[in-house]
Amino acid sequence: MPKRPSGGRAAGSLHATSRATVLDELDTTEDGLSTEEAAGRLERCGPNDVQEGKRASRVELLVSQFRDPLIYLLIVAAVLSLAVGLVPGGHPNYAEAGFITLIIAVNGLFGFVQDYQATRSIEALREMASPDATVVREGRKRSVEAKQVVPGDVVVLEQGDAIPADARLLSTEELRTNESALTGESTPVEKSLDPVDEDAPLAERADMVYMNTTVVNGRGRAVVTATGMDTEVGGIATQLGEAEDEQTPFEREVRRLGRQIGVLVTILIVLVTAVQFLFTATEPVAILLVGITLAVAGVPEGLPAVVTFTLALGARRMVDRNAIVRRLPVVESLGSVDTVVTDKTGTITENRMTVTRLYAGGTVVDVDERHRPNGDVEDEAMVVGDDRASEPAVERLLRCGAVCNDVDLIDGEYEGDPTEIALRRVADESGVDHTGERVREVPFSSERKRMTVVVDESEAVTAYMKGATEVVLDRCDRILEDGEVRPLTDERRAGIEDRTESFAADALRVLGFASKAVDDTGADAEQLEDGMVFLGLQGMLDPPRPEVERAIADCRSAGVRPVMATGDTLATARAVGEQVGFDPADALTGPDLDDQSDEQLRDTVEDVDVFARVAPEHKVRILEALQANDHDVAMTGDGVNDAPALTRADVGVAMGDRGTDVARQAADVILRDDNFATIRDAIEEGRGIFENVRKFVNYLVSTNTGEVLAVFLGVMLGTLLFPQRFTGTAQALILTPVLILWINLVADTLPALALGADPQAEGLMDRPPRPTDEGVIDARVLTSILTIAVLLAVTGLGVFFYGLDETGSLRLAQTLLFTFIVVGELVRIYVIRSRYGLSVGSNRWLLVAIGVSLAVHLTVLYTPLRGFFDVVALSLTEWSWITVGFAAFLLCNVLASAVFDRIVPSSSRSGEG
């Protein structure tokens, strides 16, 4: 039994321990565990699986849609509609309660369907961890499910294997692993058996391998030191589980708006109730009905459904643009971010090594990739410059890189070490022939720092070498220049060394190449590799994505500041940053940040755009410093190391293709194409959605406020002007709850839903982000809402009281006001859109919605349905009264807009009036 079956010593010290001590700590041997012991440890330690946070069930997902202040207000209104029946002389208003319940149900259904679809999309993106692992048990190799690996198991690692757990190496043969998902390093890590310092950072623990990383070259054996939640990946997953979900700014805004509406409606109800009770003889049931009517009129019943629908529509458009949204409010939040903190590897860059520069025949050759999707070369793969005499040397150099190479091409995909893949790819895409029978190989080793292969090329047998430049130069006495083999003089050696340094200064990984004809293929390695002809250099880099430079420029023009935070070296971060448009002059490293206090870091993050050698805790500190400076921050990333920051960001954006499952679970948005340019598209989409939200909030709140004022002022004026008509139960109402609900459900909601499909206004990405303290309802929008509400109520009541005075029929007067408000609201929607420069026909769905709303309203007036709504059919004369009132409303609206534009400051963000 192991002394500490969960992993022996603390994970922070095993890399500083000898192999023998680790085996002793884990009570195992290099022959592995017995089957019985492995089964026992599996039972005690649990499966080797990183547990995700608790996922919401379908029921929980559905229930969560109703946790909203506006929904609570609607529920209260529905209950009050039924509670009228408990008052002496009152009857339950089942119609009102039914309408409200229907609206609540529709809203919940919208949100549930979208969230469930997002969950399904995320499930489709989940990468399956390696289902099997090769372990040694009782001295024999066997394949087991990765979940059954336990501490003390000896695992066998081969090229291409996914490492199933954290482990200490026992043996290694040129073993290199890709740890970019965990550390952010784009270059494979060469492994060794020697212990390292106890305080060595994760990226420098060469004697350890980690879960969720892969073997890219060589082979080895390792003893498992930690599994499941005890691994480095599991530790990050634990942090995610402990983190609380942050509300988006838009969620906070909607909740605040709901509370404000609730307080306003409550105040009005209390005021009207007090006035009626103290100064009129209105019956108690009538007073209660007026209160319910005010509540129904004050609550924009369609707002939750319209918000949800608009966000869902935006989320669907974002899916078409390769972004999956996990929570609907995040769609809008993307449009308000002013800072994007992004990883480099796989996000800014392609996460693949690529040859970008050659040195052959005394000439520097820049490699320019322009490929068709099928891999054919569209143009010349290389731009040589004016001196094309060096092309034979270039061809020879590329052939050497492709021949001295262990990459396999399987089903059109390269498999092997990323550096060798880069060498093989550039040769293939340049049309260089590298056929030949390999007759011998002297493999690469960390001691030799070079690799040599001997190839039978029909006409001759040739030895090809690649390795560190200084090592290759030491084996050469000649150089290929201008198609001729010349002596490798000290001057030429110095020139090659200078060129190597210049390549390295640009963060290129540089290898030297040489070859020679071979007579004796059986000669010893020293003799075989002596007297080589130097062919040149190949410099490679994980290149930026082609779209990134433009995307970063677009973000800046939109007032969004990109910041790069990577685990890679400072030189690489600077080089890549400069290529895509960052200013790397003031770049800092993680250790530099360790020397700064939180206050100092708050100043630093405002000036520095590139951070290198950052650990997960550094990313979180950068994020928190930006947020402390009142920035809305989107954090992009793909690795396990990005997850804590993704969770804490205002908007976490993970990569769907190369990204780890831990990162995707932590994020709010997942990019299916891993393309930073998609961030720019998502920001634009978010801004457009916010404008649409602002339009229909203006529309719905202004009309609902107008209804409230009409009921409030109507009751007050009615009790004074027509006391004999405003003391009974039904007569106390200017508009019945059923009529108001019908207005809100049909006349308001359908056009408001169609507003969600409004096209984006021109110049949307030329504006700065809206300030974090600017809500949907800013000063201009609030002024617009109050102005229109007053005009709608006053002119509508003018029509109401005129009709009541002319005919003496309260029912007709209510029908006139009912129709006036419906028509006025439908025209109002185009007044709002005109402030954004949108034409009448730019949204066909809105035209359809308005047509349907008018048709339905006429159906209510001129079919037997009018009996249910207690309205009357209007004559042409009565329509003329409405027309006169409506003309007065439009005239007042034009005058108010002129005054409004003079008094209220203009805003490049709002556009409202």
Active-site amino acid positions: 343
Is the Cβ–Cβ distance between 677 and 671 less than 8 Å?
no
State CA 255 to chain mean position distance: 23
Facing residues of 481 across strands?
484
How far apart are the C-alpha atoms of 128 and 121, rounded to whole Å? 15
Specify the 3-state DSSP secondary structure of 422.
helix
DSSP state of 759: P
How far apart are the C-alpha atoms of 456 and 34, rounded to whole Å? 48
Specify the 3-state DSSP secondary structure of 649.
coil
Is the Cβ–Cβ distance between 349 and 542 less than 8 Å?
yes
Beta-strand (E) ranges in 505-644? 509-517, 532-541, 561-565, 588-589, 610-612, 633-637
- Give the end-to-end CA distance of the chain in Å, rounded to a whole number: 76
Q: What's the angle, vertex CA 25, arms to CA 20 and CA 28, rounded to 5?
A: 75
Q: Tokens 């440890």 — which residue?
A: 41
How far apart are the C-alpha atoms of 690 and 335, rounded to whole Å? 7
How far apart are the C-alpha atoms of 807 and 503, rounded to whole Å? 93
What DSSP element (H or E) covers 364?
strand 363-367
Two tokens, residue 656:
């769907």
Shortest CA distance to 645 belongs to which of 665, 667, 678? 667
Instruction: Name the H helices within 13-93.
Output: 19-25, 35-45, 58-64, 69-83
C-alpha dihedral (3, 6, 8, 11), degrees to nearest 10: -160
Which sign, positive or negative, has the C-alpha torsion 182, 185, 186, 191? negative
Q: Ramachandran region of residue 248, left (φ > 0), alpha (ψ -120 to 50) or beta? A: beta
Phi, psi of 421 (to 5 degrees): -60, -40
Which sign, positive or negative, has the C-alpha torsion 303, 309, 312, 318? negative
Instruction: Name the H helices within 722-840.
Output: 737-742, 749-755, 779-807, 810-834
Give the C-alpha distances (Å, rounded to integers) separating 529 from 215, 472, 805: 29, 9, 111
Which sign, positive or negative, has the C-alpha torsion 871, 877, 883, 889? negative
> Regarding beta strands 437-442 and 189-190, do their DSSP bridges make them parallel or antiparallel, or are they unpaired?
unpaired
**C-beta neighbour count of 607 within 10 angstroms:** 9
Which sign, positive or negative, has the C-alpha torsion 690, 694, 697, 700? negative
Is the Cβ–Cβ distance between 33 and 41 less than 8 Å?
yes
Facing residues of 635 across strands?
341, 652
| Burial letters 612-633, b for 16+ CB under 10 A, else e | bbbbbebbbbbbbbbbeeebbb
Shortest CA distance to 285 belongs to which of 751, 733, 886? 733
307 burial (CB, 10 Å; 0-12 / 13-18 / 19+) is buried
How far apart are the C-alpha atoms of 643 and 664, rounded to whole Å? 8
Facing residues of 324 across strands?
670
**C-beta neighbour count of 60 within 10 angstroms:** 10
Facing residues of 437 across strands?
456
Half-sphere exposure of 137 (CA within 13 A, CB side): 18
Helix and strand element counts for the chain (H, E): 31, 27
